[in-house]
Structure 1
């Protein structure tokens, strides 16, 4: 399943029990679906902002066309936040096209179908090579954001808490494996991202390991940002408590057990 919104749709439909999602899970709960975020392995806006060379600030994106994966996705919500922060109108100034993954968005940039997008590390290097501008990296932006979330259905969690605990525990261990085992991790990245260029594989490894937290705790700041994004269309959303959208009990248990400290030894 190649997008967060499709993952959440599968979760709501009962096809899967644990989903990888982003802001769309928050939107789903606002609409009455009983979804909860258990963990955020990538709790930042984990992408780079790519534009045409003549564009030198977010304010210059006004009226231009941007590329996102899908409406409601992390890329969509990321641009909504950046436009709000720059004092632009999301309703009037933000124009977006749904294009799918990095490769499709980069191709659209090359033919001027869009003038800006978000890209991961490997696609960013390809964008640089053809003269596009990296307006801001994920590290430069440093925005708390539920880019990748572990999401479950609340009733399922009540009946399967131990299974959910084991899932988040293994996820945490995988983060530590990745940080400590570059060679094997790069082999896995190359396989599943279908990258043949060792330089691009290394860039993806460095990009992600720099952003992964030691313990993938839910980001309340990131949830608040998304609720504020929705506040333009739904004022009630901006007044909701971010804690309604997360369940931190599993992360709290791992913290109490000093699980990460054990991995460090």
Structure 2
């Protein structure tokens, strides 16, 4: 019985991919398949969304199968077991796993290198001190929402255990938003268009982590060393397609906002305008390159103090060479 229970997440992912393949139409002749998992349908992944919508992966000879898994803590095991080839998720979850022995992981890009979350609360909660005794929502423990909330609380002198602040796993961003509006949560971490909606609904933006002057690998692109070794040319074309999508997103607001609307499910133009402006001007790491400073805060959190050990971990986990090779392929779109 225990054996079956442990295998359920992997079996569920296989079913999702099977359904996606059945619904996705005919595979182009000669195309190679890449299985991609998103942990968030936010503008963090705007380059991927645009690439998918504009069929830029197909132009690179890639049959891309993608699905949504609502937290980094669930996506990561799917990468480790190679149920997916590539995933986008929180960098902290990846660094912790690598530090604990998952040496086959490889970060091949960083989409966002700073916090983009804000803590929204009921209007009657006016100061951080009012959070004592309250219930706050995140996606799952160990995910990027959970990490950023705990960090933000620490910055204002609060500790969930000491100050009786209850953190609950509320699901993906749509489910978190629903819990907040239904009154089941006193506050929640929101981002992207959901943060814009929270403002309009009258919730208070109590903590804006985007204003903190810190680097943090909020959104990274992850694969395995085996995938890079066995399918390097495919990995290179995959990253080239992402760069194509990112360039198109940054330079064509109409196409970019259309992709955001498709994947986030938000249709209101005012929300899409605000989200597009924030990510193009403030959040997206336009080079996609992963730098040592981006991991420093995570090294602090997991107790890696030695510069030599930090350097060794960075060198072992991060592979920027795929990006360099992808750029050398040139753009596949001139739009």
TM range (shorter): 0.7 to 0.9
- Counterpart-to-counterpart distance in 2, 1:67 and 1:167: 34
Shift of 1:36: 1.8
- Counterpart-to-counterpart distance in 2, 1:214 and 1:258: 17
Tell whether 2:236 aligns with 1:169. no
1:33-75 CA distances to partner (integer Å, 9 max, x unpaired)?
Answer: 1212111111111222212334444454344321111111110
- In the superposition, the TM-score normalised over structure 1's length comes to 0.83
Given candidates 203, 206, 222, the residue that maps to 2:294 is 222
Given candidates 14, 21, 29, the residue that maps to 2:98 is 29
1:169-207 CA distances to partner (integer Å, 9 max, x unpaired)?
Answer: 222221111011111121222122222322222223223
CA separation of 1:84/1:251 partners in 2, compared to 1, >3 Å: closer, same or farther?
farther
Matched residue of 2:116: which SS?
Answer: coil
Given candidates 141, 144, 148, the residue that maps to 1:71 is 141
Matched residue of 2:238: which SS?
Answer: helix
Given candidates 120, 130, 146, the residue that maps to 2:217 is 146
- Counterpart-to-counterpart distance in 2, 1:221 and 1:54: 38
What does 1:39-54 correspond to in 2, within 5 Å? 39-54=109-124
Residue pair 1:68, 1:76 contacting (<8 A) in 2 also: yes
Given candidates 314, 320, 334, the residue that maps to 1:248 is 320
Residue pair 2:119, 2:149 contacting (<8 A) in 1 also: no
Residue pair 2:160, 2:167 contacting (<8 A) in 1 also: no
Aligned to 2:250: 179
- Count of residue correspondences: 258
Given candidates 162, 165, 187, the residue that maps to 1:92 is 162
- Counterpart-to-counterpart distance in 1, 2:297 and 2:129: 19
Matched residue of 1:72: which SS?
Answer: coil
Residue pair 1:50, 1:136 contacting (<8 A) in 2 also: yes
- In the superposition, the TM-score normalised over structure 2's length comes to 0.67
Unaligned runs of 5+ in 1: 232-236
- Counterpart-to-counterpart distance in 2, 1:259 and 1:214: 16
Aligned to 2:279: 208
Shift of 1:208: 2.3
Unaligned runs of 5+ in 2: 1-67
1:207-263 CA distances to partner (integer Å, 9 max, x unpaired)?
Answer: 3223112211124333222233334xxxxx5555151432222345567x5969x99
Aligned to 2:200: 129
Shift of 1:264: 11
